[in-house]
Amino acid sequence: MEANIACQSGICQDHPMNQPAPCCCPPLLTARLTSDELTRIASIFRVLGEPARLQLLNLIAAQPQQEVRACELVETLALSQPTVSHHLKVMYEAGLLTKERRGTWIYYGIVTDRLAELRSVLA
């Protein structure tokens, strides 16, 4: 059933959020959530509650390869390099972005499963 599908990224687990976790994500509207679950889910929504970070997701998704070098993102956003780097770090640690070094550059991609989980939380 929908309510107990497996959760791959640990929204409601006490794990580092950029690592897979074997748990389930109770939908907000159909299950009683514990204080820990509420805190954990809120922390992910808070990451999305920033225009600059939504713009990063939007820009990455717009690429055909679904990944972007950090320096390109810095050029596009009207923010300083440290600020963009900070946002990327926050999103990576929230499990929303992948991160891969290739030579000089670091490529960021979107963890679509993570967004799918959030959708299921709202279902």
Q: Interface residues with a second copy (CB under 8 A)?
A: 28-30, 32-33, 35, 38-39, 41-51, 53-55, 57-58, 61-62, 110, 112, 115-116, 118-119, 122-123
Which residue is associated with the tokens 């993102």? 73
* Contact of residue 48 among a second copy, DNA, none (CB under 5-8 Å per partner type): a second copy
Q: How many CB atoms lie within 10 A of CB 26?
A: 20
In terms of DSSP bridges, do strands 105-110 and 67-69 run parallel, antiparallel, or are they unpaired?
antiparallel
User: Alpha-carbon distance 86 to 91, whole Å?
Assistant: 9
Instruction: Give the nearest distance from C-beta 68 to DNA in angstroms.
Output: 9
Instruction: Give the nearest distance from C-beta 7 to DNA in angstroms.
Output: 22
